[in-house]
Amino acid sequence: MDSIHGLATPPPLELLLQGGPVSLFLDFDGTLVELAPTPDSIEPVEGLAAKLARLSERIEGRCALVSGRAVSDIESHIGKVAIAAAGSHGADIRTASGVMLGDAPTGLPFAIERDLRAFADEHSLDYEAKPHGGALHYRSNPEREEAALAFADALAAENGWAAQSGKCVVELVAGTADKGSAVFAFMREKPFSGSRPIFIGDDLTDEKGFAACRDLGGYGFLVGERGETCAQCQLPDVASVHHWLGL
């Protein structure tokens, strides 16, 4: 393999498939769609849902979205998702046929949401309510990053929740789910079981997905650059992800 900044450039997907069944776990923002100033201002490529469905069919159903967004939120941007999906950082896992794996996501208690909203208003941040928790976005006010992270960490610790940091965002989530646990859940089920898993993502929250795939004999592919990662391979940007997947 060639390398980009010390990480290997992945071989073509078709070549990997010649070595046996492969499962693909795909992050959404920053991986399949370009990042945008706000979560609602993304501009997915036309027909993305249909393209993902064809990709999944091509590898016999072993393809899943694994996103911090709720599945319903993703569908509001690209239409009905006809492949397996784990939304809300693995708190909402469903098969391609819509069967739930595990419990439904747990929403934020009122008091935590109240405090997050108040902090967002006070510091000119964007608050996003999610089925599994709540997020503070500071992309439009990056100088508030340190304050947002410290506040979220303290609020999570006080209430027995967990704070997850990403690109210009910090989220409060139940401490029992992450993208790695979603990978393990899918890999226990058909058609994923017995395959070699690959997780493709760009953010810190994707590291647990990379680690899960590594532990299961597969790979993590980092999109873009980051100083420290457990991914083994790298793709430079969203366009290269689409090209590698054949979308």
Asked if residue 210 lies in contact with residue 222, where contact means CB atoms within 8 angstroms, the answer is yes
Tokens representing 22? Answer: 């492969």
Angstrom distances, CA of residue 82 to CA of 38, 55, 65, 136, 170 = 25, 11, 10, 30, 29
Q: Does the active-site annotation cover 203? A: no
- Full DSSP string of 79-120: ----SEEEEGGGTEEE-TT--EESPPPPPPPHHHHHHHHHHH
Query: Cα separation of 154 and 162, whole Å?
Result: 10
The single residue of 27, 29, 126, 203 carrying the catalytic annotation is 27
* DSSP state for residue 138 in the 8-state scheme: -
Compute and round to an integer the Cα radius of gyration of the chain. 18
Catalytic site residues? 27
